[in-house]
Structure 1
């Protein structure tokens, strides 16, 4: 029998030989291999979860803030000079055509001659009056009269914001790869901070659109970068909990209180300054978030990863064998961690992998379109947009909690299909139920289901796409999602053609998304594909009708 080599180091107590590092060297090839030794869900990870709060608030104000900056009261009518001595009702009855619909008067035309009230006397409005009962302030859009034939300017400004996000994704993605995630995040949120403050000085469509384009550069990156960093430092089996629990709670909280901040501030210029407060996180980011361990490794700075690992162990009160750090460094120096490289084009070179890439991309884009379509449709509800927005945003939290409970039991496909098809049902019913409490209940229910579908959609992409091209593939999914975001305002604008057209469109979009997700492989409990060939073969043995919790099997996917 061979004697065990003596690996005791100088200063180690007699009889406390450290286990040979050779078995360790074979197993400690990646940061994920090292993390359990220093604590993968301890005090340090909880601090990281808390650090996500300002970034989730930033994401919320960038995503939804423009709605309240450009919110136009539904009740508005032509302004006529020289009638200031009359009441609102008298002015409307005197100069505005009455209609048999809601609102019961024309919002875009007036009588040129109040004594000759016929079609020949109708003229288009040049300026408007607004009822500030439900929306207690004049927004930028109201001040500049972006209504009637100019209402498309609100939607165009929103689309330009999302176009900025596409440019920002490319720009800050490159910066993150070459200079580090933390510098990229600091500059990203710094640009968003300056643009949000500058929004308060916009005085025309073009100045507003240009400023919001720069604000859009920060959108998505403001949360994607910190969230990915935090996920790197958390146990693999806790990542669904982080995304659907902590992030869902913070985002739910911020988006729920956002409309009431707008309501009580009641001044869109001051509101811009308030919205800029979370973006001040750019100043403190280097002190509350660590640099990406994977970026350190990719940049040849394994020594900094070891320093970070020792710090994590200190916070988590772990005392790992010092030999693990040496074994990890040895693996890095010998190049044992070399991985296959690929480009996004490699995802389309084989049939099944190409199919899965296209499916996850289109599924996410359709979910993003349906999500934003329902968000913007809240402005047309007869109830208070502030209350409607609050109730729908509050569904983020229960949706996240429910996913935590069922996602690893029912699987990704079922948990995507069911809420998406139910969204289609709600959208279909909203074609016919357009007012009253029932319409609000349907809007809240649809948002609840969409929250679930959206939370799973990008997780699906990260789990289906193979490691060599995963980051690039997820970026591709993100870009098409942003394109969908930019299209959503125009879906709502379809109401000017036919008031039922937006919900018909959202019904079809949700239905198609539900059908598509059934053709993706189930990823629950499966090892992530590490090579392009594994990505091609992923799910090949699965059955189309199988559900993980029942084990039912049928024909192959």
Structure 2
């Protein structure tokens, strides 16, 4: 009895059918590269310092020295999380006292950024850090956001295989692509860091599940050296293309919400792939759906310009293929 690769050897290894499957499945992993490294740009923390509100009514001279300075990595910059007590600064300004001459600033007590922060927009127009003030006492939330995403990736790794075994490789591929696309877009409307992080967790679920489904579907359809090339280099290179394109997009879209919209657009472009990417014949055989598997292979033979045998799988050979899967 022959195995699946022998049964489908009439297709050849690199015909039009294999080329379509190879490149379409590879390109479907590009958005995975987007989301995996998006937090680098979505969660960047720009330079910031305490806001001095207009109600303080202090002179320009006192306004310039209202934020203490500190040396960070050999560079002198304004403190990011403290300011001189505003009520004292206001009194000094009202009395026309001169900072550094009439008042020794080192003796003026400090307070936190009660009125918020001012963020530098030199590099970014906005990020989730500037949107939700993930600085100072909440600074831990910025790296924890990335951890939440990869926790979603971890959880998705556990059940993505079981889902594709139960419902098929193709449905899971497109379902998880939809999850990744939809929840990436919904993040644009996040009213808080907590909501953003919850949605980011779901994006992580969809990202790894989509990648695994594409990986498995390609390795089951392709055979021989093409399968090796696909699994070892193909999906990895296109994933890398995704995160290499991301900085280019982020360079032109420096607002985190606009960047998320741009990241979700490719998911819509991939909708037509449903009619070009077939289900795994191997999986169909494992489910006893022999006629559907043969129909896919006969269509593949037509695309490759070869003639399929009248009977591709005999009833006695299907259980053997099922055991191999």
Aligned to 2:111, what secondary structure does the other structure show?
strand
**Is it true that 1:45 corresponds to 2:18 in the alignment?**
yes
- Equivalent position of 2:97 in the other structure: none
Change (3 A) 1:148 1:38: same
Please give the alpha-carbon distance, in whole angstroms, between the structure 2 residues aligned to 1:305 and 1:35: 11
Aligned to 1:329, what secondary structure does the other structure show?
coil
Aligned to 1:118, what secondary structure does the other structure show?
helix
- Equivalent position of 1:99 in the other structure: 71
Match of 1:297 among 281, 285, 299: 285
- Equivalent position of 1:217 in the other structure: 205
**Deviations 1:216-238 (Å, cap 9, x if unpaired)?**
22021122211221222223323
Match of 1:330 among 293, 315, 319: 315
Match of 1:247 among 229, 235, 253: 235
Please give the alpha-carbon distance, in whole angstroms, between the structure 1 residues aligned to 2:212 and 2:64: 49
TM-score, normalised by the number of residues in structure 1: 0.50
- Equivalent position of 1:109 in the other structure: 82
Contact 1:97 1:109 in 2 (8 A): no
**Deviations 1:286-339 (Å, cap 9, x if unpaired)?**
21311122211111112222222222222222235x2661xx323335x34463
Change (3 A) 1:48 1:95: same
- Equivalent position of 2:7 in the other structure: 34
Shift of 1:57: 1.9
Match of 1:128 among 96, 105, 117: 117
**Is it true that 1:231 corresponds to 2:203 in the alignment?**
no
CA RMSD of aligned residues (A): 2.9
Contact 1:165 1:219 in 2 (8 A): yes
1:393-542 → structure 2 map (5 Å cutoff): none
**Deviations 1:356-403 (Å, cap 9, x if unpaired)?**
xxxxxxxxxxxxxxxxxxxxxxxxxxxxxxxxxxxxxxxxxxxxxxxx
Shift of 1:275: 1.0
Structure 1: state its 5+ residue gaps.
1-25, 340-466, 469-557
Please give the alpha-carbon distance, in whole angstroms, between the structure 1 residues aligned to 2:209 and 2:138: 31
Please give the alpha-carbon distance, in whole angstroms, between the structure 2 residues aligned to 1:121 and 1:265: 41
How many residues matched? 307
**Is it true that 1:81 corresponds to 2:69 in the alignment?**
no
Question: Which protein has the larger Cα radius of gyration, Structure 1 or Structure 2?
Answer: 2
Aligned to 2:189, what secondary structure does the other structure show?
coil
**Is it true that 1:178 corresponds to 2:166 in the alignment?**
yes
Match of 1:57 among 27, 30, 49: 30
Structure 2: state its 5+ residue gaps.
90-102
Please give the alpha-carbon distance, in whole angstroms, between the structure 2 residues aligned to 1:141 and 1:273: 18
1:336-375 → structure 2 map (5 Å cutoff): 336-337=320-321, 339=323
